[in-house]
Structure 1
Amino acid sequence: MTEEPVPGVRREVPAVARRDVEPRLLRAFVAVAEELHFTRAANRLYVAQQALSRDVRRLERELGAELFARTTRQVTLTADGERLLPYARRVLAAQDDLLAAVTGAARPLLVDLNSPGLVFGRILERARELAPECELMARFESGLTGSAADIAAGRLDVSFGRFAGLDPALRAGLDQQPVRYEPMAVLLPAGHPLAELDAVPLVALAGETVYAGAGNPKTLEWTGLARLLFEGRGIEIAPPAPLAVGAEEFERIMAKNRHPVLAVVDFPAMPGAELRPLVDPVPLSPVSMVWRKGLSHPGVTALRTAAAELAAEEGWLEKPSDGWVPAADARIMQLHSS
Structure 2
Amino acid sequence: MSAPRHLDPRLLRAFLAVAEELHFTRAAARLYVAQQALSRDVRRLERELRAELFVRTTRQVTLTADGERLVPSARRVLQAQDDLLAAFGQARPLLVDLNFPDQATARRVLRRARELAPEQELMARYESGLAGAAGEMVAGRLDVSFGRFAGLDPALRVRLAHQPVRYEPMAVVLPEDHRLAGLEAVPLDALCGETVYAGAGNPRTTEWTDLARRLFECRGIGLAAPLPLAVGDEEFQRIMAKTRNPILAVVGFPAMRGTVLRPLVDPVPLSPVSLVWRKGLVHPGFDALRQAAAEISAAEGWLRRPADGWIPATDVSMMDAHI
Match of 1:169 in 2: 155
Structure ID, larger Rg: 1
What do the CA deviations read for 1:145-184 (whole angstroms, capped 9, x no partner)? Answer: 0000000000000000000000111100101000000000
What do the CA deviations read for 1:77-117 (whole angstroms, capped 9, x no partner)? Answer: xxxxxxxxxxxxxxxxxx99775343574521000001122
Structure 1 counterpart of 2:152, which letter? L
Match of 2:122 in 1: 136
Match of 1:188 in 2: 174
Match of 2:92 in 1: 107
Stretches of structure 2 that go unaligned for 5 or more consecutive residues are 1-79
Measured after TM superposition, the shift of residue 185 of structure 1 is: 0.3
**Which of 278, 281, 304 in structure 1 is aligned with 2:264?**
278
Asked whether the equivalents of residues 189 and 254 of structure 1 are also in contact (C-alpha less than 8 Å), the reply is no
Measured after TM superposition, the shift of residue 298 of structure 1 is: 1.1
Asked whether the equivalents of residues 269 and 309 of structure 2 are also in contact (C-alpha less than 8 Å), the reply is yes
Asked whether the equivalents of residues 113 and 285 of structure 2 are also in contact (C-alpha less than 8 Å), the reply is yes
**Which of 271, 294, 298 in structure 1 is aligned with 2:280?**
294
CA 1:104–1:294: 2 relative to 1, 3 Å: closer
Structure 1 counterpart of 2:126, which letter? F
Q: Is 1:179 matched with 2:165?
A: yes
TM-score (norm: length of structure 1): 0.70
Asked whether the equivalents of residues 175 and 292 of structure 1 are also in contact (C-alpha less than 8 Å), the reply is yes
Match of 1:243 in 2: 229
Match of 1:65 in 2: none
Structure 1 counterpart of 2:101, which letter? P
Asked whether the equivalents of residues 182 and 284 of structure 1 are also in contact (C-alpha less than 8 Å), the reply is yes
Counterpart CA distance in 2 for 1:96 and 1:312 is 28
Matched-pair identity in %: 70
SS of 1:193's equivalent in the other structure is: coil
Q: Is 1:201 matched with 2:187?
A: yes
Counterpart CA distance in 2 for 1:127 and 1:166 is 25
Match of 1:211 in 2: 197
Structure 1 counterpart of 2:102, which letter? G
Measured after TM superposition, the shift of residue 277 of structure 1 is: 0.3
CA 1:151–1:277: 2 relative to 1, 3 Å: same
Stretches of structure 1 that go unaligned for 5 or more consecutive residues are 1-94
Measured after TM superposition, the shift of residue 190 of structure 1 is: 2.3
Counterpart CA distance in 1 for 2:87 and 2:173 is 50
Structure 1 counterpart of 2:189, which letter? V
Q: Is 1:268 matched with 2:254?
A: yes
Asked whether the equivalents of residues 167 and 273 of structure 2 are also in contact (C-alpha less than 8 Å), the reply is yes
Asked whether the equivalents of residues 109 and 136 of structure 1 are also in contact (C-alpha less than 8 Å), the reply is yes
Asked whether the equivalents of residues 106 and 134 of structure 1 are also in contact (C-alpha less than 8 Å), the reply is no
CA 1:282–1:180: 2 relative to 1, 3 Å: same
What do the CA deviations read for 1:288-324 (whole angstroms, capped 9, x no partner)? Answer: 0000001111111101110111111111101001000
Structure 1 counterpart of 2:190, which letter? A
CA 1:153–1:281: 2 relative to 1, 3 Å: same
Counterpart CA distance in 2 for 1:237 and 1:281 is 19
Match of 1:122 in 2: 108
TM-score (norm: length of structure 2): 0.73
Match of 1:48 in 2: none
Structure 2 counterpart of 1:120, which letter? A
Counterpart CA distance in 1 for 2:191 and 2:162 is 33
CA 1:103–1:177: 2 relative to 1, 3 Å: closer
Measured after TM superposition, the shift of residue 230 of structure 1 is: 0.2
Measured after TM superposition, the shift of residue 193 of structure 1 is: 0.9
Alpha carbon RMSD of aligned pairs, Å? 1.6
SS of 1:256's equivalent in the other structure is: helix
Structure 2 counterpart of 1:244, which letter? A
CA 1:100–1:193: 2 relative to 1, 3 Å: same
Counterpart CA distance in 2 for 1:103 and 1:163 is 30
Structure 2 counterpart of 1:276, which letter? R
SS of 1:179's equivalent in the other structure is: strand
CA 1:104–1:188: 2 relative to 1, 3 Å: closer
